Amino acid sequence: MAPTENTDTKSVKKVGKPRNYDLGNGVYRFSRSRTYHKKALWKFQDKKTPKTVVPKKPVTVEKTVGGEKNGKTRTVLVKKRKSNYPTADAIKKRPAKKCFKHHTRYLRSSILPGTILILLAGPHKGKRVVFLKSLKSGLLLVNGPFLINGCPLRRIHQNYVIATSTRIDLSDVKIPQTLNDEYFKRVHEKRAKKEEGDIFATKKVVYKPSEQKKIDQKLVDKLVIDAIKKNSEKKTLFAYLATMFGLRSSQYPHRMKF
Amino acid sequence: MSEKYFFLPFERFVQSGRVAYVSHGPHKNKLVAIVDVIDQNRVLVDGPASKIPRGQMSLSDLHLTKFRLKFPFTGSTRVVRKAWAAEKIDEQWKATVWAQKVAAKEKRAALSDYDRFKLRRAKRVRNAIRTEAFYRLKKAAKKAKANKAAAKK
């Protein structure tokens, strides 16, 4: 049985429909003249909309041409002709290469300011250090503190670090703004001009921290140590930071919690 | 076990009512009761107390415990639950050394790096105390022995 049509028109919302409809075989209910009156098209019969005057766009442009014997100017079509075929390929703009400095930086969610990290690479590997902040280059700024475990203010990539769940409250600590990537850039002295004999004999450069770095180190050490001192477990925390990380037999880092 | 007059090589059997510890799979570290034996390798288990639905389990995933429930063969979940509660299996299980070891293992696995460090320190302190006590006793024993020898003379 076919579904019965809803005869209750009041409940059904009216939807706009053409009043003219197909009776079948292409015959419509209302003739052209009937619809003319129904739609009241006579209203609009003699209506005239004022013509908007569109200012004419110039077809050609005069361009100056270099060279003395070139007549100085040329009239050039604004829209090139269909038959125009350029003699040389247009220089395409290449998709901009993303520089390292434009990369978006991602920091692991487990690394927050004050988190104690275990360094896995570099001269200080195995040490437990305090994370201060992430720099623009994406590297992590860490500090031993130097007074406790000998790890100075350093930058390290987050891949070379294990984040522990232990955290020191550094919310009140203000780390100097000067500690940025520029600050840690290595200073290379310009090579001396060619002298006889020692072209290949290069001197070994030994890193020496500048006076400014020593001052900053002391300042940041104090900030971090003061923050640790506020902790109720400060004694154990100091000992914790002072000891190196190591694995014993049947300890597998991927199965352990940090 | 004093009533036992003959030698029993095995004391835990795969039998209906046997409480087993699940050692492997999604229901790891939970207890079930064996309801029926399907074949050599599989059993029908039910764990109403540990929220394990009635179903089959491989015997290689089960470790038999010393507990056995008394309920009729292929008893329903309701029957198992009642027998479980009547025997107080959960309490009994917690008291076993086995359960304590499992709990200790879990605790150890959940330790953070800092916790492990603190544990190591605490152990060092404890061992120092113990060693000292041992040497004190040793010294006292030596002295007593020397005194005895002197008295004999």
Question: Does any CB of chain B come closer than 8 Å to the CB of residue A30?
Answer: no
User: How do residues B6-29 score in pLDDT, each as one tens digit?
Assistant: 777 888 999 999 999 999 999 999
Does residue B84 register a pLDDT over 80?
yes
Which residues of chain B make contact with A118, given a CB cutoff of 8 A? 113
The mean per-residue pLDDT over the stretch B115-130 comes to: 96
For the cut 60, the answer to whether the pLDDT of residue A25 exceeds it is yes
Residue B80, Cβ density class (10 Å: 0-12 exposed, 13-18 middle, ≥19 buried): buried
> What is the rounded average pLDDT of the residues B30-38?
95
pLDDT above 90 as % of chain A: 55
**A244 lies within 8 A of chain B by CB:** no
Task: Kindly identify which residue of chain B lies nearest to residue A237, measuring between CA atoms.
Answer: B114
What are the tokens at A174?
């203000």
> Most A CBs within 10 Å: which of B114, B115, B120, as the mutation test of the A interface?
B114
Q: Which residues of B touch A255 (CB under 8 A)?
A: 109
> Residue A28 pLDDT more than 70?
yes
The tens digit of pLDDT for each residue in A180-221 reads 999 998 877 766 666 666 666 666 777 888 889 999 999 999
pLDDT at A65: 87
Residues in B closer than 8 angstroms to A163, CB to CB, are none
Residues A52-96 pLDDT 10s: 999 998 899 998 988 888 888 889 999 989 998 988 988 888 888
pLDDT of residue A70: 83
Residues 159-218 of A with CB under 8 A from B: 162, 164-166
User: Is the per-residue pLDDT at A15 higher than 70?
Assistant: yes
**Residue in B closest to A118 by C-alpha:** B113
Average pLDDT, chain A: 87
Please give the residue of chain B at the shortest CA–CA distance from A244: B117
Which long-range contacts does B1-10 make (Cβ < 8 Å, 24+ apart)?
none
Collect all residues from B whose CB is shorter than 8 A from any CB in A: 109-114, 117-118, 121
What confidence score (pLDDT) does residue A2 get? 47
Asked if the Cβ–Cβ distance from A164 to B113 is below 8 Å, we say yes
Complex confidence, ipTM: 0.75
Does residue B153 sit in helix, strand or coil? Answer: coil
> Model pTM greater than 0.80?
no
Span B53-65, average pLDDT? 95
How distant is the Cα of A12 from the closest Cα of chain B, in angstroms?
A: 52
Q: What is the model's pLDDT at position A86?
A: 87
Identify the residue with better confidence: A138 or A193: A138
What is the reported pLDDT for A166?
A: 94
For residue B118, the chain A residues in CB contact (below 8 A) are 236, 240
pLDDT reported for residue A202:
65
Contact A209, A152 (CB under 8 A): yes
Asked whether residue B5 carries a pLDDT value surpassing 70, the answer given is no
Closest partner CB to B112 (pick from A165, A236, A239): A165
Cβ distance B114 to A240 less than 8 Å, yes or no, reads yes
* A117 C-beta neighbours (distance < 10 Å), count: 24
Is B113 close to A258, i.e. CB distance below 8 A? yes
Contact B71, B51 (CB under 8 A): no
pLDDT of residue A8: 52
Query: In this complex, do A166 and B111 lie within 8 Å of one another by their Cβ atoms?
Result: no
CB contact under 8 A, B114 and A243: no
Nearest chain A Cα distance for residue B61, angstroms = 22
Average pLDDT on A232-250 reads 93
Question: pLDDT band for position A167 (50/70/90)?
Answer: very high
